[in-house]
Amino acid sequence: MAKCEICEKTLNYGNKISIARSHVSRRSTRTWKPNLRTVKAMVDGQPKRISVCAKCLRSGKVKRA
C-alpha cells in the first residue's frame, strides 16, 4: 500500500469529471497517490530503507544515511 512512514500520508479518493458543452456530463472515480521515494534513512541508529513522501524529504523530517 502507498503510505509515507513518517507522516502516514496515504491514498486519496475523489471524482474525475469530464466536462462537455459547459456542464458536467460524466463522473468516474480516481485516486491520488502520494509522491513516495524509497530512501535509506537512520531509524533508531540503524540504516534502513523506508518509503517517504517528497514533502517530508524537503522539510528535513528524515535523516538520510
* Domain residue ranges in the chain: 12-59
Closest among 51, 64, 38 to 7, alpha carbons compared: 51
- Is pTM, for the whole model, over 0.85? no
The residues with which 53 forms a beta bridge, in sequence order, are 36
Instruction: Indicate the pairing of strand 36-43 with strand 46-53.
Output: antiparallel
Tell me the per-residue pLDDT of 23-65, one tens digit each, with 9 for 90 and over. 777 888 999 999 999 999 999 999 999 999 999 999 999 999 8
